[in-house]
């Protein structure tokens, strides 16, 4: 059992709270201050490395990726920033990044990621078959590869994902891309119930979370929630994030 999996299973609250931010947006200093200030509320931090074609993201996160790239944010300077902060020491960090950012110097980059103290990787463009082949390499560097599962995943493929997943399952609750939804999709709820009967591995709900009512409706169904686009929209609009962040965090207690 990985450290992340152990932490989720042995939580002392209803749901694990996993905020998502894109590295360097609105800037590194803001993120550092916000994360350190809220370190006791963040169970796992999902930190996105900006990419020019983030195929899994909706309009809000696409715009944030674009702005971060324009400002010069990269994997390399994100690692340098984290090395000079307390963030990896006080929060469990998982990177979301695309395989194009890794593949040409894979083990060299994995070593750097490990040395910073990152706990795992979410790689949206890595097919299951390649994930399976690369698992020994990720394991070598002590990095959990987080695998996706969704209502469109065929049963035989789902069984393989459940079998090989070293950490939690990233539950894509809807067809399509990231973004806020007004209500939880019934298809996603039904599928989560089905998966619950097939595995005791932690299930973290991604995509669509924007209010505490949605979070409360997931009690007993999943093990945690990822919130990204809703926070990103606040930052894009220049709104204060803290009160909204606290409201969603408190819904997981």
Complete DSSP assignment for 202-226 = -EEEESB--SHHHHHTTTTT-SEEE
Which pLDDT does position 174 carry in this prediction?
63
Q: Residue 56's pLDDT is what?
A: 61
pLDDT tens track for 1-42: 899 999 999 999 999 999 999 999 999 999 999 999 999 999
Distance CA(208)–CA(230), nearest Å, equals 8
Helices (H), ranges, the chain? 3-9, 28-37, 59-70, 75-83, 87-90, 106-116, 128-140, 155-164, 186-196, 212-216, 229-236, 242-250
Residue 59: its pLDDT value, please? 87
Residues 97-119 have a mean pLDDT of: 96
Q: Using alpha carbons, select from 62, 67, 15, 71 the residue that is nearest to residue 229.
A: 62
Q: Of 63, 100, 77, 66, which is closest to residue 31 (Cα–Cα)? A: 77
Q: Is the full-model pTM beyond 0.75?
A: yes
The residue ranking higher by pLDDT, 248 or 180, is 248
**Token representation of residue 131:** 């994930």
The pLDDT > 70 percentage for the chain reads: 96
Question: Which 8-state DSSP code applies to residue 147?
Answer: E
Quick: pLDDT tens for 143-198. Answer: 999 999 999 899 999 999 999 999 999 998 766 444 445 678 888 899 999 999 99
Predicted pLDDT of residue 53: 77
C-alpha 12/C-alpha 121 separation (Å) is 24
Residue 57: active-site member: yes
pLDDT of residue 181: 52
pLDDT at 54: 72
CATH number assigned to the domain covering 3-243: 3.20.20.70
Confidence of residue 227 (pLDDT cuts 50, 70, 90): very high
Q: Which residue in 43, 57, 180, 223 is the catalytic one?
A: 57
Q: Which residues pair with 121 in a beta bridge?
A: 95, 145
- Backbone φ and ψ for 26, nearest 5 degrees, come out as -70, -25
CB under 8 Å to 170, separation ≥6 — which residues? 122, 146, 147, 148, 149, 204, 206, 226
Catalytic residue selected from 46, 92, 144, 180: 46
Is 46 a residue of the active site? yes
pLDDT tens column, 44-92: 999 999 988 777 677 899 999 999 999 999 999 999 999 999 999 999 9
How high is the pLDDT of residue 180?
A: 46
> How crowded is residue 35: how many other Cβ atoms within 10 Å of its Cβ?
21
| Alpha carbon 201 to chain centroid, angstroms | 16
Torsion 58-248-121-81 (CA) sign: positive
DSSP 225-241: EEE-HHHHHHHHTT---
pLDDT (mean) for 119-146: 96
């Amino acid at each position: 059992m990985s450290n992340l999996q152990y932490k989720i299973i042995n939580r002392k609250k209803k749901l694990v709270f996993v905020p998502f931010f894109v590295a360097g947006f609105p800037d590194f200093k803001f993120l550092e201050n916000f994360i350190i200030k809220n370190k006791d509320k963040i169970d796992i931090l999902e930190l996105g490395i900006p990419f020019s074609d983030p195929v899994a993201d909706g309009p809000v996160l696409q715009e944030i990726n674009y702005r971060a790239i324009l400002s010069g944010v990269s994997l390399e300077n994100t690692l340098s920033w984290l090395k000079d902060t307390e963030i990896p020491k006080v929060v469990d960090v998982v990177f979301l990044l695309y395989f194009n950012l890794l593949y040409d110097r894979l083990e060299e980059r994995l070593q750097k990621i490990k040395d910073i103290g990152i706990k795992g990787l979410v790689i949206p463009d890595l097919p299951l078959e390649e994930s399976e082949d690369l698992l020994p390499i990720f394991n070598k560097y002590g990095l959990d590869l987080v695998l996706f599962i969704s209502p469109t995943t065929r049963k035989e493929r789902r069984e393989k994902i459940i079998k090989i997943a070293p950490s939690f399952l990233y539950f894509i609750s809807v067809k399509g891309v990231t973004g806020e939804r007004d209500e939880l999709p019934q298809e996603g709820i039904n599928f989560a119930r089905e998966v619950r009967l097939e595995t005791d591995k932690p299930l973290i709900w991604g995509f669509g979370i924007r209010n505490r009512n949605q979070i409360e409706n997931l009690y007993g169904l999943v093990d945690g929630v990822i919130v990204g686009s809703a926070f990103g929209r606040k930052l894009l609009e220049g709104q204060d994030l803290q009160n909204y962040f606290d409201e969603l965090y408190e819904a997981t207690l």
